[in-house]
Amino acid sequence: MTQSKWQSLLVPVLSVIVGLLFGAVIMLLFGYNPVDGYQALLEGALGTPFNIGQTLRAATPLIFTGLGFAVAYTAGFFNIGLAGQALFGWLVSVWVGLAMLDSPKWLVLPLAILAGALAGALWAAIPGILKAYFDTSEVIVTIMLNYVAVYIADYLIRNVLTDRADATPFVGANASLRTEWLTELTNGSTMHAGFFLALLFAVIAYIFINRTTFGFELKAVGLNKDAAEYAGMNVKRNIIIAMVISGALAGLGGVMNGLGEFQNIFLTNGVAPAIGFNGMAVALLGLLNPFGVVLAAILFGGLMTGGNIMPLTAGIPSEIVDIVIAAIIFFVGANYIITFFLNRRKVRSAVDNEDVIQQGGQEG
């Protein structure tokens, strides 16, 4: 069994490598030098303390949304609504910060963070409840709720939080996750204390999923709803709770944007925050393991931070990085192609060819 565990670790690693190679091929096809491109990417991501800070800053919300996706997926639930849940977390945390400009930090900051988590949780509860009681496709409902969130957030920003402005004012220092020593350490990057909060939540999520009865129940529901029901578990309740936790984590991802990175919220122009879909990608690449999520989020943070610098230093459009990211996820999803080749090497001398088919076709 250790063999297959080792092998499952190899899938994301090889996916990243193949994804990067794919990106190199595209760069070659369009007449760019991939060596220059990836050098610019690497330097942009890790070259200076400032860039490292920006990379970790970009990873922070992704850890939260990635964990959120992983928790829901454990219960067999595809939470595509991370973006909308994060948007509401972002909005509400900024709102609380702006409403309590004169209160002490020890009160405002925790309150704003909690409020953001709660907003995400409530928004995620809707598809959870609909799934539990009406068996409504969560994929469609969460996607629809993303658009609803976008329009409501824009309306609130324009008409309630401000007087027809495109962005809210900045929150005060009493609601900010930025800390002086982190900013100084990274030569003025926007890295903030939320990163450590994200690591803490990764540990909590790991313990929750792998070491608690409730985590076990979630897994049971995710693997086989009917069997879990038969074993006396409350499937409906578990689905809803999984979604609430997932939404709370996504909401916290939004809080990282609100109180950490941007310190305010602005109009979405119809697009929900990218940390939603990227969080999903991070969770898949991290094999839905909380520690895997942290590593994948840091990788993505690096790709995005470095990717932004590519057009400036190497003249290569940053969209290349998005294509690389999509390719990586593609190979994680189509891991059969990787396991197939790994198995073929192993099985070549063995007798039973049936094994390969059994292992590859586990989806259902």
Partner 1 sequence: MIQTLALIVSSTLVYSGPLIFTALGGVFSERSGIVNVGLEGIMVMGAFGSVIFNLFTADTFGAWTPWLGLLIGGLVGILFSLVHAVATVHLRADHIISGTVLNLVAPSLGVFLTRELFAGKGQTDMIAESFGYANIPLLSQIPVIGNIFFKSTSLPAYVGILSAFVVAFIIYRTAFGLRLRSVGEHPQAADTLGINVYLMRYIGVLLSGFFGGVGGAVLAQSISLNFSVSTIAGQGFMAMAAMIFGKWNPVGAMGAALFFGFAQSLAVVGSQIPLISSIPSVYLQIAPYIITIIVLVSFVGRSQGPAANGTTYVKSK
> Would you tell me which residues interact with partner 1 (CB under 8 A)?
30, 78, 80, 130, 134-137, 139-141, 143-145, 147-148, 151-152, 154-155, 269-271, 277, 280-281, 284, 317, 319-320, 322-323, 325-327, 329-330, 332-337, 353, 357, 360-361, 363-364
The CB-of-356 to partner 1 minimum distance in angstroms stands at 10
The CB-of-23 to partner 1 minimum distance in angstroms stands at 11
Quote the CA–CA distance of 223 and 230 in Å, as a whole number.
Answer: 13
For residues 43 and 322, which CB has a smaller minimum distance to partner 1 in the complex?
322
For residues 85 and 186, which CB has a smaller minimum distance to partner 1 in the complex?
85
The CB-of-136 to partner 1 minimum distance in angstroms stands at 5
Token reading at 55: 């990379």
The CB-of-100 to partner 1 minimum distance in angstroms stands at 26
For residues 248 and 280, which CB has a smaller minimum distance to partner 1 in the complex?
280
> In which residue are the tokens 């499937």 written?
235
For residues 50 and 78, which CB has a smaller minimum distance to partner 1 in the complex?
78
Residues near 60 by Cβ (< 8 Å), separated by ≥ 6?
A: 192, 194, 195, 198, 256, 260, 261, 297, 301
Quote the CA–CA distance of 108 and 285 in Å, as a whole number.
Answer: 35
For residues 180 and 363, which CB has a smaller minimum distance to partner 1 in the complex?
363
Quote the CA–CA distance of 16 and 18 in Å, as a whole number.
Answer: 6
Residue 277 CA neighbour count, 13 Å, CB half: 10
For residues 130 and 197, which CB has a smaller minimum distance to partner 1 in the complex?
130
Residues paired with 266 in a beta bridge = 167
Quote the CA–CA distance of 94 and 192 in Å, as a whole number.
Answer: 16
Q: Is 287 left (phi over 0), alpha (psi -120 to 50) or beta?
A: left
The CB-of-13 to partner 1 minimum distance in angstroms stands at 18
Contact 92, 118 (CB under 8 A): yes
For residues 135 and 163, which CB has a smaller minimum distance to partner 1 in the complex?
135
The CB-of-53 to partner 1 minimum distance in angstroms stands at 25
- Nearest Cα to 89, choosing from 133, 151, 153? 153
The CB-of-360 to partner 1 minimum distance in angstroms stands at 6
How many Cβ atoms are within 10 Å of 276's Cβ, its own excluded? 29
For residues 283 and 294, which CB has a smaller minimum distance to partner 1 in the complex?
283
The CB-of-353 to partner 1 minimum distance in angstroms stands at 8
CA angle 259, 275, 306 (to 5 degrees): 95
How many Cβ atoms are within 10 Å of 163's Cβ, its own excluded? 7
Contact 72, 261 (CB under 8 A): no
